[in-house]
Amino acid sequence: MKFFIDTASLKDIQEAQDLGILDGVTTNPSLMAKEGISGKNNIMRHYKAICDIVDGDVSAEVIATTFEEMITEGEELAEIDEQIVVKIPMIKDGIKAIKYFSERGIKTNCTLVFSAGQALLAAKAGATYVSPFVGRLDDISSDGMILIEDIRTIYDNYGFETQILAASVRHPLHILQCAKIGSDVMTGPLSAIMALLNHPLTDSGLAKFLADHAKANGK
């Protein structure tokens, strides 16, 4: 399973990259705003800075909601770097835009997916990635992992090449559940990724080894 980080923070992206496990980055307008990035030129430069850090795909989201505007904005984003994946919302004109981009070899990420039917439409249109939001489903007392399972079944039934990119991942259990089900990619905050490192027996075991070593060497 690929590990993407969901942030616009260059610091967090660099830390994940230095760990050696980062496969890509996802962003959205809210994450850009959180980092104080505003204005078209600044946003474009920030996407380029992200591409310069990572080796994999970088999802850059359009703000437009009409077909024509999404095409114009998406083509501008795609010109930033070959790593850019144009992030398109799951709406009627979004499906049309995904089809347009897929026919022209521009990678896309269909975002704000909350049903298997939406994921099926995105795959039919040729999306590179589809992003079901598992955490937001959990927030309304719905099991986001059931959606991942349903999409996995449908895609496997028909051999769709669209990759399942589990989004709105909140914690390490989400990551492990996605891995068990067979999500192609997960994207989440650095904190969720780093939490996979932690186990109390690892900490106590290392402390014991170090204490025994120090005792044996008269320290």
3-state secondary structure of 186: strand
Rounded-to-integer distance, Cα 31 and Cα 202, Å: 34
Residue 188 per-residue DSSP state: E
Rounded-to-integer distance, Cα 201 and Cα 136, Å: 32
- Candidate list 87, 99, 107, 208, residue with the active-site label: 87
Helices (H), the chain: 10-19, 29-34, 40-53, 67-78, 92-103, 116-125, 134-139, 144-158, 172-181, 190-195, 200-216
Contact status, residue 16 vs residue 22, Cβ threshold 8 Å: yes
Q: Is 87 annotated in the active site? A: yes
Q: Which of the residues are catalytic?
A: 87
